[in-house]
Amino acid sequence: MMVFGASICFVIGFLYPLITSVVGFFLLRFFHGFSTGFKPTGTVAYVADIVPINRRGEAMGLASAFGTMGMASGPAIGSEIAIRFSLETMFQTSSFVAILSILILIGMKETLANPEKFRLSHLKIGAQDIYEKDVLLPSVIMMLSVFSFGIVLTVIPDFSEHIGMNNKGTFFTAFTLASLAVRFFAGKASDRFGRMEVLLGALLLYAIGMVVIGLAETKLMFFVGAIIFGIGTGMNSPTIFAWATDIAKVQFRGRAMATVFIALELGIMFGAFLSGLIYNNDSDNFLITFWTGAGVALIGFTILLFFIITKRPYYVKN
């Protein structure tokens, strides 16, 4: 599944320069989305299979650190390649990087004891296959937290230009460095102090980061907001995936990870779509756009705090 997802990235990268219509672009994006459906889901499930329970948060922090390094540094590196060379070169470079991923995966050993051979019947999806109910709460928290990331992906390029930054991906460099700096510690902290406690801090930092970015009028304040937001992200995703692994049934671990990733994609999608509507290419709307992200993060904070205080069934570590 991981090889299949990475292969899609490799092929799609060569097709972008050939697209000349909006419809074609959206169609290509649709199929490109298969890569983020297969590859990260398989990766997290694979890590969960091979890591001891008492180091699960630490391992998820390590795995997600590399994922964040790719997703967040891509815009900065891609922008620089496009500026210095061309968009075509940028897409071709992404395909080259994807094929390196495939080569690494080929040398890895399968973790399933008795993997089945692929059959077309496996593509048939029933209601029970859409989501894993045991990880519903971590999935909701994931969706509410990454809503802000959808805003960042959509609005930050224009906001960067608004405050006089030519490389629209520079924000992502600061964001990535901050995120990487805390991921290993955050995952380990969740192993010791609890998943939900660490997530409370992450959601609060998401909200603060969105507020600071919205108020930014200088590059310094802009980068301070990026760092705060990056720290929140570094604490968030490895902890949620470790939490979901904790409470998921072993035989449904892949489905559980898929459920969390669906929530992640939905959160980014809603954040991107709604921020586009609110911003509407009007710089006067930057503040309300980012503060909307802060509000959604605080909703997640409130839900999580409720479960901690009341000690509902989800507040359990296996």
In a domain, 318, yes or no: no
Q: Is the pLDDT of residue 203 over 90?
A: yes
Number of domain units in the chain: 1
Give buried/exposed letters for 254-266 (b at 16+ CB in 10 A, else e).
Answer: bbbbbbbbbbbbb
CATH of the domain at 167: 1.20.1250.20
- Using 50, 70 and 90 to split pLDDT, how confident is the model at 315? very low
Which one-letter DSSP state was computed for residue 169?
Answer: T
Cite the beta strand spans of the chain per DSSP E: none
Higher-pLDDT residue of 296, 180: 296
Q: How confident is the model at residue 129 (pLDDT cuts 50, 70, 90)?
A: low
Cβ atoms 229, 210 nearer than 8 A: yes
Calpha distance 292→299 (Å, rounded): 11
What pLDDT does 243 receive? 86
**pLDDT tens, residue by residue, 142-197:** 999 999 999 998 998 888 888 877 766 778 778 888 888 887 787 778 888 878 88
Identify whether 163 is part of a domain. Answer: yes
Supply the pLDDT for residue 122.
60
- 113 domain residue, yes or no: no
Q: Residue 59: inside a domain, yes or no?
A: yes
- Which residue, among 270, 38, 255, has the nearest Cα to 127 in the 3D structure? 255
For residue 68, being part of any structural domain is answered with yes
User: What does pTM read for this prediction?
Assistant: 0.73
Is residue 26 domain-resident? Answer: yes
pLDDT of residue 316 exceeding 60, the answer is no
Interval 77-102 mean pLDDT = 85
pLDDT tier for residue 317 given thresholds of 50, 70 and 90: very low
Q: 300 is in which domain, residue-wise?
A: 2-108+128-310
Q: Give the DSSP H/E element, type plus range, for residue 140.
A: helix 136-162
pLDDT 10s digits, 58-86: 777 777 777 767 776 777 788 888 888 88
- Per-residue pLDDT at 48 exceeds 80: no
Tell me, what's the pLDDT at 120?
66
Tell me the CB-side half-sphere exposure of residue 285, using CA atoms within 13 A.
14
Q: Is 160 contained in some domain? A: yes
Confidence check: pLDDT of 117 > 80 = no
Task: Specify the amino acid at residue 304.
Answer: L
pLDDT at 11 over 70: yes
Q: Tell whether 234 is covered by a domain.
A: yes
